[in-house]
Structure 1
Amino acid sequence: MRRDYLRPMLLIFASIAIGVVGWSGHVLLLPVAMGFPVLWSMARTRSVAALVSAGYFLAASRGLPQGVAAFYSSDIWPGLLLWLCASLSFVAVHTVLWTKNAGTRPFRYFLAVVVMAIPPFGITGWAHPVTAAGVLFPGWGWWGLGLMTTGLAGLVTRIWPAVAIALTGFWLWSAATWTDPKIPDGWRGVDLELGVSLGREAGLQRQRDMIATVRGAATDSARFVALPESALGFWTPTVERVWTGALRDGAATVIAGAALLDAGGYDNVLVVIDRKGGRILYRERMPVPGSMWQPWRSWFGESGGTRADFFTNPVVSIGGRRAAPLICYEQLIVWPVLQSMLHDPDFVVAVGNGWWTRGTSIVAIQRAATTAWAKLFAKPLVIAFNT
């Protein structure tokens, strides 16, 4: 009887360890997540498969309760509730698709990989093991993604040790020769440490401070300067005039996060500003569900919340080149970056405002995931975060 309980407990503890290590924020540790499908396939009952899935996902997203508490200035309970709710889709998909039948198990897991990568389940598809493709197969692009997906399916078969050895070989070779993605020519990303004030203090002095930061970052070799999400606060004609006037005597172009407000809610956007003026460059496709994107408001005739533009602007044109923008939450899930890569952009621009994640690994995980995707498709990467 004791052995009947020991095996499930070991699988659950192992899945928790894999979630913690694989999603620690170190890009070269992302392949540790490949251990999850192995443990999932070792479960002998559907309930154990559910607990293994929950252990992995909850461990991988462990920073969420503390982050939510900081964001709302509340106690830990709302964060714990959101943490558990967010895990439901991952656990439900992997529980429903689990099977004892070894012959159909690879197809079932392949289906789980696909379902958790695309909406609607992909909206909360964090901690997806396929993210590690960029570590194992840097520069392989769609072929690397296909090999990674095939490898994950192979890890739930009887020959999983051989598959694991092969994937580990790619991992070790990549780690031995690893280099971070290069920065696009002429670009510079500026990290800020302004905490909660970014986006909330948007007075004239804050705009002047931002302008001074841009002037310090802009050089002859870096004419495009990226600022974090929410750097400009609300995007208004007045803010545009202030920035356009400040840039009139230079050649710098600024890409910065802002909020575009109207009666129905607001858009989380990137704007581009130069001496000729400013314009909306990008509207966030997938804001954070719950805290930002609240679609249920419209069901009750209410307004507010951030709009999700989903599939509308996967790439944008700037400086004669095409960029794949990713704002904050979009870096944690799979489908936004893959949608952008279908259009073969020249580089990736990733921005975020992670002041509320202090004391957690969330920003580090965002950076690691974005780096892995940029490496997979051999794209230069510019990053700008506020902490």
Structure 2
Amino acid sequence: MVRGAGLIVLAALVGAVAWGGDPLTLPLAMLFPALWALTRRRVVTALVTAAYFLAASRGLPQGVANFYGSDLWTGLLLWFAASLSFVAVHTILWTKRRGWGRAVRFALAAVLMAVPPFGIIGWAHPLTAAGVLFSGWGWSGLAAAAAGLTVMTTRLWPAAALALGGFWLWSAAFWTEPALPDGFRSVDLEMGQSLGRDGTLERQRDLIATVMEAAWQGDSVVVLPESAIGFWTPSVERLWRAALYGSDITVVAGAALVDPQGYDNVLVEISAHEAGILYRERMPVPVSMWQPWRGFIGQGGGARAHLFANPVVELAGRRMAPLICYEQLVVWPFLQSMLHRPDAIVAAGNGWWTAGTTIVAIQNASTIAWARLFGLPLVTAFNT
């Protein structure tokens, strides 16, 4: 009983500290498989797994309450519901038998939580720490991190922990943030929930003025946050292209493309000469945006999920890996994009609803870690 309680408390502590919003704390998540393997009963395994996940995603209840303007109970319900797949996968695959069989089962759980369908809510994946432990190693670093996670479930876990700790200290001593791609400038906004919902001409002109001010140093590509432009229409396109006339500025901004069946959450590319959809989000936020059950009851609406579409896009002569908001919290969008050998990562988000939480900081930490793993420049733009 005491042993089980201790493992549960440690799992919660690991989840809370590892996923606090600082990239350098992410390697603590590598302790989770050891705690999972040290349990002796399946019910304790479930509680340890739940403690880790719930602590890591502790900002969700407040975020949901902010988004829906509801009380905290709605957020708490969705928080526990979100944990079910993570807990179920790790609990079902747990076994009393020690040895490499248990390690293989954890590896299977890690794979399942990295890809759809379970990976759709595969937050707090320990593999994200690869970017801190093995910066610049690319796929070799990912394999090393996966091997480390697997060994952490065996009797050799103390030796594995020491080895991973050594890599962690080395990385922390020489840690640097990813550089911006040459010629790129990001713009963070503080417009709260009005961003994307205020479709007035005055708002569009304010955004255009912000872009012009950001580009004064000669950067040719300016990135705005998710939802910055609001609804993407021919009128909005004409307004922006006219405003950019005579300049060589390219704007990348979040928008929504609406039709009778629903909408796409997109990034648009705008210049004086042309404009169009650059990227369609692969994984919108489940429940609040992506609502696939509507199709089964004959209703339209909700954001579409283009799960495996457009992993890289061409922008300013570069191959860019685009990521919008929620995609920065799960694993497969990063890995799918990396398979296409991008030159840089562009990440946009609209985090007004995360006020009072560390969700945006966690998104940034995750994106930074993946960029560092593959040695890629990174440009991010957020609204809060």
- TM class, shorter-chain normalised? over 0.9
The Cα of 1:319 is off from its aligned counterpart by 1.1
SS of corresponding position for 1:337 = helix
Paired residue type of 1:138: S
Query: Does structure 1 residue 20 correspond to structure 2 residue 13?
Result: no
- Structure-2 separation of matches of 1:261 and 1:374: 32
SS of corresponding position for 1:280 = strand
Task: Name the residue aligned to 2:165.
Answer: 168
Is the 8 Å Cα contact of residues 139 and 375 (structure 1) preserved in structure 2?
Answer: yes
1:253-285 deviation line (CA, Å, top 9, x unaligned): 000000000000000000000001210000000
The Cα of 1:202 is off from its aligned counterpart by 1.5
Mean Cα deviation higher: 218-227 or 151-160: 218-227
Is the 8 Å Cα contact of residues 241 and 277 (structure 1) preserved in structure 2?
Answer: no
SS of corresponding position for 1:218 = helix
- Structure-2 separation of matches of 1:302 and 1:121: 25
Task: Name the residue aligned to 2:321.
Answer: 324
Task: Name the residue aligned to 1:256.
Answer: 253
- The correspondence for 2:51, drawn from 47, 51, 55, is 55
Task: Name the residue aligned to 1:139.
Answer: 136
The Cα of 1:82 is off from its aligned counterpart by 0.7
1:157-196 deviation line (CA, Å, top 9, x unaligned): 0010000000000000000000000000000111000011
- Structure-2 separation of matches of 1:202 and 1:32: 44
- Structure-2 separation of matches of 1:55 and 1:221: 49
SS of corresponding position for 2:251 = strand
Task: Name the residue aligned to 1:383.
Answer: 380
Is the 8 Å Cα contact of residues 89 and 124 (structure 1) preserved in structure 2?
Answer: yes
Task: Name the residue aligned to 2:146.
Answer: 149
Task: Name the residue aligned to 1:6.
Answer: 2
1:292-316 deviation line (CA, Å, top 9, x unaligned): 0000000000000000011110000
1:230-270 deviation line (CA, Å, top 9, x unaligned): 00000000000000000012111000000000000000000
Task: Name the residue aligned to 2:71.
Answer: 75
- Structure-2 separation of matches of 1:151 and 1:119: 23
The Cα of 1:222 is off from its aligned counterpart by 1.0
- Structure-2 separation of matches of 1:314 and 1:219: 31
Written as runs of structure 1 = structure 2, the 5 A alignment for 1:187-336 is: 187-336=184-333
Is the 8 Å Cα contact of residues 67 and 358 (structure 1) preserved in structure 2?
Answer: yes
Is the 8 Å Cα contact of residues 18 and 35 (structure 1) preserved in structure 2?
Answer: yes
- Structure-2 separation of matches of 1:360 and 1:158: 37
Q: TM-score, normalised by structure 2?
A: 0.99
Mean Cα deviation higher: 215-224 or 59-68: 215-224
Task: Name the residue aligned to 1:66.
Answer: 62
Is the 8 Å Cα contact of residues 188 and 226 (structure 1) preserved in structure 2?
Answer: yes
- Structure-2 separation of matches of 1:184 and 1:149: 29
Task: Name the residue aligned to 2:357.
Answer: 360
Task: Name the residue aligned to 1:117.
Answer: 114
Mean Cα deviation higher: 128-137 or 29-38: 29-38
- Structure-2 separation of matches of 1:64 and 1:386: 18
SS of corresponding position for 1:325 = strand
The Cα of 1:320 is off from its aligned counterpart by 1.2
Is the 8 Å Cα contact of residues 223 and 251 (structure 1) preserved in structure 2?
Answer: yes
Task: Name the residue aligned to 2:39.
Answer: 43
Task: Name the residue aligned to 2:103.
Answer: 106
The Cα of 1:221 is off from its aligned counterpart by 3.6
List alignment gaps of at least 5 residues for structure 1.
Answer: none
Report runs of 4+ in structure 1 exceeding 3 Å deviation: none
Q: TM-score, normalised by structure 1?
A: 0.98
The Cα of 1:220 is off from its aligned counterpart by 5.0
1:78-123 deviation line (CA, Å, top 9, x unaligned): 1111111100000000001101111211101111111100000000
- Structure-1 separation of matches of 2:188 and 2:177: 17
SS of corresponding position for 2:142 = helix
Identity %: 65
- Structure-2 separation of matches of 1:264 and 1:148: 42
